[in-house]
A = this chain, B = another copy of it.
Amino acid sequence: MTSNSEADKSVIQLAHGGGGRMMNRLIQDVFAEAFRHPDYDNANDAALLPWQTPDMVMTTDSFVVNPLFFPGGDIGTLAVNGTVNDLAMRAARPRYLSVGFIIEEGCPVETVRRVAQSMRAAADTADVVVVTGDTKVVERGHGHGLYVNTAGVGCIEHDLRVGPRHVRPGDAIVLSGDIGRHGIAVLASREELALETPIKSDCAPLAADVLALVRAGLELHCLRDLTRGGLASGLVELSEASGLAFVLQEEAIAVDGVVAAACEVLGLSPLYVANEGRFVVFLPADQAGRAIELLAQRNPGVQPSIIGEVVDRREAVVIARSALGMERVIDMLSGEQLPRIC
Protein backbone atom coordinates (compact mmCIF):
# COMPACT_ATOMS: atom_id res chain seq x y z
CA MET A 1 0.00 0.00 0.00
CA THR A 2 1.11 3.51 -0.78
CA SER A 3 0.15 6.36 1.48
CA ASN A 4 -1.27 9.50 -0.08
CA SER A 5 1.76 11.59 0.67
CA GLU A 6 4.06 9.06 -0.99
CA ALA A 7 1.87 8.92 -4.07
CA ASP A 8 1.80 12.71 -4.23
CA LYS A 9 5.55 13.01 -4.41
CA SER A 10 5.75 10.93 -7.53
CA VAL A 11 3.33 12.99 -9.62
CA ILE A 12 3.35 16.60 -10.67
CA GLN A 13 1.17 18.90 -8.57
CA LEU A 14 0.10 22.46 -9.24
CA ALA A 15 2.55 23.55 -6.55
CA HIS A 16 5.41 22.29 -8.74
CA GLY A 17 4.75 25.30 -10.96
CA GLY A 18 4.33 27.85 -8.20
CA GLY A 19 7.76 29.38 -7.80
CA GLY A 20 8.22 27.99 -4.27
CA ARG A 21 10.10 25.14 -2.60
CA MET A 22 8.46 22.37 -4.63
CA MET A 23 9.34 23.99 -7.93
CA ASN A 24 12.89 24.56 -6.77
CA ARG A 25 13.21 20.93 -5.81
CA LEU A 26 11.81 19.74 -9.16
CA ILE A 27 14.28 21.96 -10.99
CA GLN A 28 17.20 20.71 -8.89
CA ASP A 29 16.29 17.02 -8.87
CA VAL A 30 15.11 16.64 -12.44
CA PHE A 31 16.18 19.47 -14.71
CA ALA A 32 19.50 20.60 -13.23
CA GLU A 33 20.41 16.94 -12.90
CA ALA A 34 19.70 16.31 -16.59
CA PHE A 35 21.06 19.54 -18.06
CA ARG A 36 24.02 20.37 -15.80
CA HIS A 37 27.01 21.49 -17.89
CA PRO A 38 30.43 22.51 -16.57
CA ASP A 39 30.82 25.51 -18.89
CA TYR A 40 27.38 27.02 -18.43
CA ASP A 41 25.83 28.66 -15.47
CA ASN A 42 22.33 27.43 -16.32
CA ALA A 43 20.82 27.86 -12.87
CA ASN A 44 19.70 31.42 -13.65
CA ASP A 45 16.51 32.60 -15.30
CA ALA A 46 18.68 33.67 -18.21
CA ALA A 47 21.93 32.06 -19.29
CA LEU A 48 25.12 33.81 -20.27
CA LEU A 49 26.46 32.61 -23.63
CA PRO A 50 30.18 33.36 -23.42
CA TRP A 51 30.51 33.29 -27.14
CA GLN A 52 30.82 36.51 -28.97
CA THR A 53 31.49 40.15 -28.19
CA PRO A 54 29.31 41.59 -26.75
CA ASP A 55 28.31 38.70 -24.47
CA MET A 56 24.91 37.25 -25.18
CA VAL A 57 22.19 36.11 -22.80
CA MET A 58 19.38 33.64 -23.57
CA THR A 59 16.17 32.90 -21.67
CA THR A 60 12.74 31.30 -22.05
CA ASP A 61 9.34 31.31 -20.36
CA SER A 62 6.02 29.66 -21.07
CA PHE A 63 2.79 31.42 -20.18
CA VAL A 64 -0.40 29.66 -19.13
CA VAL A 65 -2.22 32.53 -17.41
CA ASN A 66 -5.93 32.13 -16.83
CA PRO A 67 -7.84 34.16 -17.96
CA LEU A 68 -6.03 35.17 -21.17
CA PHE A 69 -7.10 38.81 -20.83
CA PHE A 70 -7.02 40.77 -17.57
CA PRO A 71 -6.92 44.44 -16.54
CA GLY A 72 -3.58 45.90 -17.57
CA GLY A 73 -2.55 43.19 -20.03
CA ASP A 74 -3.05 39.77 -21.54
CA ILE A 75 -1.08 36.58 -22.10
CA GLY A 76 0.68 38.29 -25.02
CA THR A 77 2.00 41.33 -23.13
CA LEU A 78 3.00 38.97 -20.33
CA ALA A 79 4.86 36.68 -22.76
CA VAL A 80 6.85 39.57 -24.21
CA ASN A 81 7.53 41.44 -20.95
CA GLY A 82 8.28 38.29 -18.95
CA THR A 83 11.08 37.29 -21.29
CA VAL A 84 12.33 40.84 -21.80
CA ASN A 85 12.53 41.15 -18.01
CA ASP A 86 14.49 37.92 -17.55
CA LEU A 87 17.08 39.38 -19.94
CA ALA A 88 16.93 42.76 -18.17
CA MET A 89 17.68 41.04 -14.84
CA ARG A 90 21.09 40.10 -16.31
CA ALA A 91 21.50 43.80 -17.22
CA ALA A 92 21.29 42.78 -20.88
CA ARG A 93 19.68 44.71 -23.71
CA PRO A 94 16.85 42.50 -25.06
CA ARG A 95 17.13 42.07 -28.84
CA TYR A 96 15.26 39.11 -30.32
CA LEU A 97 12.28 37.00 -29.33
CA SER A 98 10.89 33.73 -30.65
CA VAL A 99 7.27 32.82 -29.98
CA GLY A 100 5.59 29.40 -29.81
CA PHE A 101 1.80 29.10 -29.65
CA ILE A 102 0.01 25.99 -28.43
CA ILE A 103 -3.63 26.60 -29.32
CA GLU A 104 -6.62 24.55 -28.26
CA GLU A 105 -8.99 23.43 -31.00
CA GLY A 106 -12.05 25.68 -30.84
CA CYS A 107 -10.19 28.79 -29.71
CA PRO A 108 -11.54 31.80 -31.64
CA VAL A 109 -9.11 32.97 -34.34
CA GLU A 110 -9.92 36.49 -33.12
CA THR A 111 -8.44 35.62 -29.72
CA VAL A 112 -5.21 34.47 -31.34
CA ARG A 113 -5.12 37.65 -33.41
CA ARG A 114 -5.64 39.92 -30.39
CA VAL A 115 -2.85 38.16 -28.50
CA ALA A 116 -0.47 38.35 -31.48
CA GLN A 117 -1.23 42.03 -31.90
CA SER A 118 -0.66 42.83 -28.27
CA MET A 119 2.63 40.91 -28.45
CA ARG A 120 3.68 43.10 -31.34
CA ALA A 121 2.75 46.26 -29.45
CA ALA A 122 4.62 45.08 -26.34
CA ALA A 123 7.65 44.12 -28.45
CA ASP A 124 7.70 47.57 -30.05
CA THR A 125 7.50 49.22 -26.63
CA ALA A 126 10.33 47.07 -25.30
CA ASP A 127 12.37 47.58 -28.48
CA VAL A 128 12.70 43.87 -29.32
CA VAL A 129 11.87 42.05 -32.55
CA VAL A 130 9.84 38.83 -32.77
CA VAL A 131 11.93 37.07 -35.41
CA THR A 132 10.54 33.55 -35.56
CA GLY A 133 7.61 31.46 -34.38
CA ASP A 134 5.75 28.17 -34.33
CA THR A 135 2.14 27.07 -33.99
CA LYS A 136 0.76 23.80 -32.68
CA VAL A 137 -2.88 22.88 -32.23
CA VAL A 138 -4.11 20.37 -29.64
CA GLU A 139 -7.54 18.74 -29.41
CA ARG A 140 -10.35 20.35 -27.48
CA GLY A 141 -9.89 19.59 -23.77
CA HIS A 142 -6.10 19.25 -24.01
CA GLY A 143 -5.25 22.92 -23.63
CA HIS A 144 -6.83 25.98 -22.12
CA GLY A 145 -7.44 28.19 -25.08
CA LEU A 146 -3.90 29.25 -25.62
CA TYR A 147 -0.44 28.75 -24.16
CA VAL A 148 2.43 30.95 -25.30
CA ASN A 149 6.16 30.37 -25.04
CA THR A 150 8.74 33.04 -25.71
CA ALA A 151 12.50 32.72 -25.79
CA GLY A 152 14.74 35.75 -25.90
CA VAL A 153 18.26 36.73 -26.78
CA GLY A 154 19.95 39.88 -25.51
CA CYS A 155 23.44 41.33 -25.26
CA ILE A 156 25.42 42.81 -22.42
CA GLU A 157 26.95 46.02 -23.70
CA HIS A 158 28.95 47.01 -20.60
CA ASP A 159 31.36 45.45 -18.13
CA LEU A 160 28.91 45.03 -15.28
CA ARG A 161 28.13 41.39 -14.38
CA VAL A 162 25.24 41.01 -11.95
CA GLY A 163 24.07 38.02 -9.93
CA PRO A 164 23.59 36.64 -6.42
CA ARG A 165 27.31 36.04 -5.93
CA HIS A 166 27.97 39.76 -6.35
CA VAL A 167 25.71 40.69 -3.40
CA ARG A 168 27.76 42.20 -0.53
CA PRO A 169 27.07 42.88 3.16
CA GLY A 170 26.07 46.53 3.45
CA ASP A 171 24.25 46.56 0.09
CA ALA A 172 20.94 48.38 0.05
CA ILE A 173 17.90 46.54 -1.31
CA VAL A 174 15.82 48.85 -3.49
CA LEU A 175 12.30 47.83 -4.56
CA SER A 176 11.12 49.52 -7.76
CA GLY A 177 7.47 50.06 -6.74
CA ASP A 178 4.45 48.72 -4.86
CA ILE A 179 3.79 44.98 -4.93
CA GLY A 180 0.95 42.55 -5.59
CA ARG A 181 -0.87 44.24 -8.47
CA HIS A 182 -0.43 41.55 -11.13
CA GLY A 183 -1.57 38.63 -8.99
CA ILE A 184 -4.60 40.48 -7.66
CA ALA A 185 -5.57 41.78 -11.13
CA VAL A 186 -5.52 38.25 -12.57
CA LEU A 187 -7.26 36.71 -9.58
CA ALA A 188 -9.96 39.38 -9.49
CA SER A 189 -10.55 38.88 -13.17
CA ARG A 190 -10.65 35.08 -12.87
CA GLU A 191 -12.91 34.98 -9.85
CA GLU A 192 -14.93 38.00 -10.92
CA LEU A 193 -14.21 39.70 -7.63
CA ALA A 194 -15.78 43.11 -7.25
CA LEU A 195 -12.96 45.35 -6.01
CA GLU A 196 -13.55 48.89 -4.78
CA THR A 197 -11.33 50.19 -7.59
CA PRO A 198 -10.27 47.85 -10.38
CA ILE A 199 -6.62 46.87 -9.98
CA LYS A 200 -4.50 46.80 -13.12
CA SER A 201 -1.57 44.46 -13.55
CA ASP A 202 1.83 46.12 -13.22
CA CYS A 203 3.00 44.15 -16.29
CA ALA A 204 5.75 46.23 -17.94
CA PRO A 205 9.14 45.90 -19.60
CA LEU A 206 12.01 46.65 -17.20
CA ALA A 207 15.05 46.73 -19.46
CA ALA A 208 15.04 50.47 -20.08
CA ASP A 209 14.89 51.14 -16.32
CA VAL A 210 17.79 48.80 -15.63
CA LEU A 211 19.89 50.19 -18.47
CA ALA A 212 19.27 53.73 -17.20
CA LEU A 213 20.75 52.69 -13.84
CA VAL A 214 23.73 51.13 -15.63
CA ARG A 215 24.25 54.24 -17.78
CA ALA A 216 24.23 56.38 -14.64
CA GLY A 217 27.30 54.46 -13.53
CA LEU A 218 25.66 52.76 -10.55
CA GLU A 219 27.39 49.56 -9.40
CA LEU A 220 24.46 47.18 -9.56
CA HIS A 221 25.31 43.93 -7.79
CA CYS A 222 22.16 41.92 -8.36
CA LEU A 223 18.74 42.31 -9.99
CA ARG A 224 15.61 40.22 -9.59
CA ASP A 225 12.09 40.54 -10.96
CA LEU A 226 9.35 39.48 -8.57
CA THR A 227 7.12 37.11 -10.53
CA ARG A 228 5.82 33.74 -9.33
CA GLY A 229 6.19 33.54 -5.56
CA GLY A 230 6.42 37.33 -5.25
CA LEU A 231 8.92 39.48 -3.35
CA ALA A 232 9.35 36.93 -0.56
CA SER A 233 10.30 33.95 -2.76
CA GLY A 234 12.62 36.06 -4.90
CA LEU A 235 14.49 37.36 -1.86
CA VAL A 236 14.71 33.95 -0.18
CA GLU A 237 16.20 32.49 -3.37
CA LEU A 238 18.78 35.28 -3.59
CA SER A 239 19.62 35.02 0.10
CA GLU A 240 20.25 31.28 -0.26
CA ALA A 241 22.26 31.75 -3.45
CA SER A 242 24.42 34.49 -1.90
CA GLY A 243 24.70 32.94 1.56
CA LEU A 244 23.83 36.28 3.15
CA ALA A 245 21.05 37.60 5.37
CA PHE A 246 18.62 40.29 4.23
CA VAL A 247 16.88 42.46 6.82
CA LEU A 248 13.75 44.19 5.53
CA GLN A 249 11.81 47.12 6.99
CA GLU A 250 8.22 45.99 6.55
CA GLU A 251 6.76 49.49 6.50
CA ALA A 252 9.00 50.43 3.55
CA ILE A 253 7.32 47.85 1.31
CA ALA A 254 4.52 49.67 -0.51
CA VAL A 255 1.19 47.93 -1.10
CA ASP A 256 -1.73 49.76 -2.67
CA GLY A 257 -4.75 50.01 -0.35
CA VAL A 258 -7.07 48.12 -2.69
CA VAL A 259 -4.48 45.37 -3.20
CA ALA A 260 -3.99 45.13 0.57
CA ALA A 261 -7.75 44.92 1.14
CA ALA A 262 -8.14 42.21 -1.52
CA CYS A 263 -5.27 40.23 0.04
CA GLU A 264 -6.89 40.56 3.45
CA VAL A 265 -10.23 39.23 2.18
CA LEU A 266 -8.55 36.39 0.28
CA GLY A 267 -6.19 35.46 3.10
CA LEU A 268 -3.10 36.17 1.00
CA SER A 269 0.11 37.90 1.96
CA PRO A 270 1.11 40.51 -0.62
CA LEU A 271 4.73 39.45 -0.07
CA TYR A 272 3.98 36.25 -2.00
CA VAL A 273 1.74 37.66 -4.73
CA ALA A 274 3.22 37.78 -8.25
CA ASN A 275 4.31 41.01 -9.95
CA GLU A 276 5.22 41.41 -13.61
CA GLY A 277 6.75 44.88 -13.57
CA ARG A 278 8.58 45.16 -10.26
CA PHE A 279 12.13 44.27 -9.37
CA VAL A 280 14.67 44.59 -6.60
CA VAL A 281 18.16 45.89 -7.10
CA PHE A 282 21.10 45.32 -4.75
CA LEU A 283 23.73 48.04 -4.79
CA PRO A 284 26.10 49.94 -2.45
CA ALA A 285 24.02 51.81 0.13
CA ASP A 286 25.44 55.21 -0.83
CA GLN A 287 24.11 54.79 -4.39
CA ALA A 288 20.58 53.80 -3.40
CA GLY A 289 19.29 57.36 -3.32
CA ARG A 290 20.41 57.99 -6.88
CA ALA A 291 18.80 54.73 -8.05
CA ILE A 292 15.50 55.72 -6.45
CA GLU A 293 15.68 59.17 -8.00
CA LEU A 294 16.23 57.72 -11.49
CA LEU A 295 13.51 55.07 -11.18
CA ALA A 296 11.00 57.59 -9.84
CA GLN A 297 11.76 60.01 -12.71
CA ARG A 298 11.24 57.28 -15.29
CA ASN A 299 7.98 55.97 -13.82
CA PRO A 300 5.79 58.79 -12.57
CA GLY A 301 3.28 57.57 -10.02
CA VAL A 302 5.33 54.54 -9.00
CA GLN A 303 7.26 54.94 -5.75
CA PRO A 304 10.54 53.03 -5.45
CA SER A 305 12.04 52.66 -1.96
CA ILE A 306 14.88 51.19 0.06
CA ILE A 307 13.27 48.18 1.72
CA GLY A 308 16.23 46.71 3.53
CA GLU A 309 19.91 45.86 3.69
CA VAL A 310 22.25 42.92 3.36
CA VAL A 311 23.99 41.80 6.55
CA ASP A 312 26.47 39.05 7.29
CA ARG A 313 24.86 36.92 9.99
CA ARG A 314 26.64 33.72 8.90
CA GLU A 315 23.20 32.50 7.87
CA ALA A 316 21.18 32.80 4.66
CA VAL A 317 17.92 34.18 5.97
CA VAL A 318 15.38 36.85 5.11
CA ILE A 319 14.04 38.78 8.09
CA ALA A 320 11.21 41.28 8.12
CA ARG A 321 11.32 43.87 10.89
CA SER A 322 8.05 45.58 11.78
CA ALA A 323 7.68 49.26 12.61
CA LEU A 324 7.76 48.24 16.29
CA GLY A 325 11.03 46.36 15.86
CA MET A 326 9.59 42.83 15.95
CA GLU A 327 11.47 40.43 13.66
CA ARG A 328 10.12 37.44 11.78
CA VAL A 329 11.72 35.07 9.31
CA ILE A 330 10.33 35.10 5.77
CA ASP A 331 10.36 31.73 4.02
CA MET A 332 9.39 30.49 0.60
CA LEU A 333 5.98 28.88 0.36
CA SER A 334 5.88 25.25 -0.64
CA GLY A 335 3.88 25.95 -3.78
CA GLU A 336 2.04 29.10 -4.77
CA GLN A 337 -1.03 30.79 -3.42
CA LEU A 338 -2.37 31.36 -6.91
CA PRO A 339 -1.87 28.92 -9.77
CA ARG A 340 -1.83 30.02 -13.45
CA ILE A 341 -0.87 33.60 -12.71
CA CYS A 342 1.59 33.86 -15.60
Residues of A whose CB lies within 8 Å of any CB of B are 9-18, 23, 26-27, 30-31, 33-35, 37, 39-40, 42, 44-47, 49, 51-53, 56, 58-64, 95-96, 98-110, 112-113, 116-117, 119-120, 123, 129-139, 141-144, 147, 149, 151, 153, 339-340
Question: Taking CB as reference atom, which chain B residue is nearest A30?
Answer: B113
Contact of A60 among B100, B109, B141 (CB under 8 A): B100
Question: Taking CB as reference atom, which chain B residue is nearest A147?
Answer: B102
Question: Taking CB as reference atom, which chain B residue is nearest A22?
Answer: B137
Contacts of A98 in B (CB 8 A): 47, 58-60, 151
* Cross-chain pairs A/B with CB under 8 angstroms, 28 sampled: A10-B109, A11-B106, A11-B108, A12-B103, A12-B112, A12-B137, A16-B137, A26-B109, A30-B112, A30-B116, A31-B133, A33-B113, A35-B116, A35-B120, A45-B132, A47-B96, A49-B96, A60-B100, A60-B149, A62-B136, A64-B142, A98-B151, A100-B100, A102-B149, A142-B143, A143-B143, A147-B147, A149-B149
Question: Taking CB as reference atom, which chain B residue is nearest A17?
Answer: B137
Q: Give the shortest distance, in Å, between A296 (CB) and chain B (any CB).
A: 32
Contact of A62 among B35, B40, B100 (CB under 8 A): B100
Q: Give the shortest distance, in Å, between A279 (CB) and chain B (any CB).
A: 18
Q: Please report whether the interface of chain A is mostly helix, strand, loop or mixed according to DSSP.
A: mixed
Asked if A104 and B149 sit within 8 Å, CB to CB, the answer is: no
Contact of A131 among B31, B49, B134 (CB under 8 A): B49
Contacts of A63 in B (CB 8 A): 136
Asked if B131 and A34 sit within 8 Å, CB to CB, the answer is: no
Q: Which 3 A-B pairs have the closest CB atoms?
A: A17-B137, A151-B151, A60-B98
What is the CA–CA distance of A13 and B142 in the complex, to the nearest angstrom?
13
What is the CA–CA distance of A143 and B113 in the complex, to the nearest angstrom?
22
Q: Give the shortest distance, in Å, between A203 (CB) and chain B (any CB).
A: 17
Asked if A109 and B42 sit within 8 Å, CB to CB, the answer is: no
Asked if A11 and B107 sit within 8 Å, CB to CB, the answer is: yes
What is the CA–CA distance of A109 and B141 in the complex, to the nearest angstrom?
22
What is the CA–CA distance of A99 and B39 in the complex, to the nearest angstrom?
18
Contacts of A138 in B (CB 8 A): 17, 64, 144, 147, 340
Contact of A135 among B17, B112, B142 (CB under 8 A): B17
Question: Taking CB as reference atom, which chain B residue is nearest A109?
Answer: B10
What is the CA–CA distance of A263 and B3 in the complex, to the nearest angstrom?
47
What is the CA–CA distance of A98 and B107 in the complex, to the nearest angstrom?
27
Asked if B136 and A17 sit within 8 Å, CB to CB, the answer is: yes
Asked if B30 and A129 sit within 8 Å, CB to CB, the answer is: no
